[in-house]
Amino acid sequence: MLTEEKHAIIKSLVDSSTKEELIWINGYLSGIINDTSKNKTIDHNDAIPIGKKLTIVYGTETGNSKKLATDFATKAKKKHIQTKLISLDQYRLSDLLKEELFVTVISTQGEGEPPVAAQKFYDHIHQNGFKLLNLEYAVLALGDSSYPLFCKAGEDVDEQLLKLGGKRLASILKCDVDYEAEADAWFDLLLNGLNVKLATSSQVKDKSEVIVKKPAGKTIYQGKVLTHLNLNDRGSNKETWHIEIAADSLIYEAGDSIGIVPKNNETVVDSIIQIVKADPNTLVNYKSESVTIYNLLKHKLNISNLNEKLIKRYADIIKQEITVTKIDLLALLKIYPLQDEIQFIEVLQNLNPQSPRLYTVSSSPISTEGEVHITVARDVFFVEEETKYGVCSDYLSSVNENEIIEFFVQKNKRFKLPSEDKDIIMIGPGTGIAAFRGFLYEREAIAARGRSWLFFGEQHFDSDFLYQTEIQNWEATGTLTKVNVAFSRDQKQKIYVQDRMLNNGSELYQWIQNGAYIYVCGKKDPMSLDVEKTLIQIIQQYGNKSMEDATRFLEELKDTHRYHKDVY
């Protein structure tokens, strides 16, 4: 293919090059080949220092970090940088010692924890027993500023890599839910820094403030409420709403969630406007938008759960000390009145945007095309004996049929049905039943051959057996092979799903040994923790294993994707 003359030139170049130079030449050539948009030779300033490879790792729960890291890798490759992109659960931890340029994109989950897929990496770097002397790194943290521990996992990784001897290429960027533009700009600066010289902290600003909270890169659906039904009967302590929503061109799968940005309660909004004697039509500059006071309060702002930073800001505005640490805006205004509308506008401008809340879908598109169903528990809590309701679940409890709800689909790739011939064990008390209603509709629609076992629990059989008729029909028709229910308050001694699991321990272990997939959905604490302890106990008892071996056995089920959790 080459003339003899060109072949000789290449051979001579190869023979005289070191291994590192060959790696660089390899990247350089593949850059030229892959770059179809340019028909020119590459300026050497475009390339990063000879021999240095870029590794981009991501730790994700719902896919945002993966998408961002993939976009970064695509950009880097276009710049002819030899780039490796890898998920942290696939990453060989021993490779860390060899890394040179290392970018981590990681979200925060739970209460300031790393995503499950990043846990091993996170634990590894916290062991401290090694030095990363060649490492130059940067961390992009994804989070949501309405959580108290904003971007905590990213912060931890950033600090820990520094402690281990790494050098920062740029200071950490902590991104809120509308991260795309900001993250893009950060990575562009980082790449430029790599090409010319290493970016300094001042070049890449640590910007944790958001402009407007809009979930990045998501399709927003305009859903129409078809059905709105309280699943609890008279006498129940609870309100659990079954909501069916229709939307055009809807794409989701059973096991996914939908995200909804709530509207604030009208009475609360009116009370705030009255108490400060503000004109609801006054336009206010909020971040980069101009919005009326009413629309800000109703649609845009988190007015229900102010964090310490905001309370401190409020105290600065009124020049008075405030001792409370958790409060809503209305209560704050009542206890610490403002002087005028000007002060009120300043307060509004400092409030955080409203965050979306997630709800696991309780339907399958295979069974109800064009519709998504959710199962929402109205959240009740008490502040100094006053009854309060969670913002989004309260909003969803009071929507009307035919009303339009905006939502987006939050994919959950890890919470998916296995092939139809596999057995599944589903543990889902309370609203945890949502995911399994979706699974069972799907298994029914495809006439799955695998066996299905459901554990469901609530307070009372009479008033709280959510989706009772459907569950009993599935049992009668064989879509459900086995059902165990636990109604905690129907007898003196409390009985929970984990007790039913223990009662059926031997059979449960046989199902697991036979290849069954285990799913847990619902409250993280204490339910999913107790269920996990019980699973270990059953494996220990019926598998004749030590506690350590049983724990390892469950870990292996996790690693082989046979143990899944969708807990919150």
Ligand X SMILES: Cc1cc2nc3c(=O)[nH]c(=O)nc-3n(C[C@H](O)[C@H](O)[C@H](O)COP(=O)(O)O)c2cc1C
Ligand Y SMILES: Cc1cc2nc3c(=O)[nH]c(=O)nc-3n(C[C@H](O)[C@H](O)[C@H](O)COP(=O)(O)OP(=O)(O)OC[C@H]3O[C@@H](n4cnc5c(N)ncnc54)[C@H](O)[C@@H]3O)c2cc1C
DSSP label of 98: G
**Partners of 227 in the β-ladder:** 244
CB of 568 to ligand X, least distance (A): 5
Per CB under 6 A, does 390 bind ligand Y?
yes
83-91, 311-319, 389-397, 462-470 -> range binding ligand Y (CB under 6 A):
389-397
User: How would you write 28-62 as a 3-class SS string?
Assistant: HHHHHHHCCCCCCCCCHHHCCCCCCCEEEEEECCC
Residue with tokens 């569950």: 471
Q: Is the peptide bond before 526 cis (omega within 30 degrees of 0)?
A: yes
Q: Which residue, 75 or 388, has its beta carbon nearer to ligand Y?
A: 388
Does 536 contact ligand Y by CB under 6 A?
Answer: no
Which option in ligand X, ligand Y, none does residue 143 bind, with CB closer than 5 to 8 A by kind? ligand X
239 binds ligand Y (CB under 6 A): no
Question: What does DSSP assign to residue 265?
Answer: P
- Beta-carbon neighbour count of residue 3 at 10 Å? 8
Distance, in Å, from the CA atom of 72 to the CA atom of 78, rounded to the nearest integer, reads 10
Q: Is 125 in the site for ligand Y (CB under 6 A)?
A: no
Among 391, 427, 440, 536, binds ligand Y (CB under 6 A): 391
Does 326 contact ligand Y by CB under 6 A?
yes
Q: What is the amino acid identity at position 20?
A: E
428 lies in the binding site for ligand Y (CB under 6 A):
no
- CB-wise, 111 or 308, nearer to ligand X? 111
CB of 124: closest distance to ligand X in angstroms? 19
Residue with Cβ nearer ligand X (55 or 232): 55
Q: Please give the residues from 347 up to 376 whose contact with ligand Y meets the rule CB under 6 A.
A: 357-360, 375-376
Residue 327 binds to ligand Y (criterion: CB under 6 A): yes
User: Which x/- pattern, by CB under 6 A, does the window 431-460 give for ligand Y?
Assistant: x--x--------------------------
Q: How far is the CB of 27 from ligand X (least distance, A)?
A: 28
Can you spell out the DSSP letters for 546-565?
-HHHHHHHHHHHHHTT-EEE
Q: Tokens 């309280």 — which residue?
A: 230
Report the run of H or E that residue 260 belongs to, with start and end: strand 257-260
The span of 69-77, 207-215, 322-330, 465-473 binding ligand Y (CB under 6 A) equals 322-330
Find the shortest distance in angstroms from Cβ 319 to ligand Y: 23
CB proximity list for 568: less than 8 A, separation 6 or greater: 358, 522, 523, 524
> One-letter amino acid identity for 473?
N
Helix or strand (DSSP H, E) at 139:
strand 136-142
Strands 240-246 and 371-377: antiparallel
Binding of ligand Y by 564 (CB under 6 A) = no
Residue among 459, 460, 415, 457 nearest 439 (CA)? 415
Main-chain dihedrals φ then ψ at residue 469, nearest 5 degrees: -65, -40
| Neighbouring-strand partners of residue 353 | 301
Q: Which of ligand Y, ligand X, none lies near 107, with the C-beta cut-off 5 to 8 A by kind?
A: ligand X
Q: Site mask, ligand Y, residues 261-290, x = CB under 6 A?
A: -x----------------------------
Give me the least distance between CB of 304 and ligand Y, in Å please.
Answer: 5
Using the rule CB under 6 A, is 413 a contact of ligand Y? no
Nearer to ligand X, 31 or 215 (CB): 215
- Provide the 8-state DSSP code for 300: I
Using CB under 6 A, list all residues that contact ligand Y.
257, 262, 304-305, 326-328, 357-360, 375-377, 379, 381, 383, 390-394, 431, 434, 566, 568
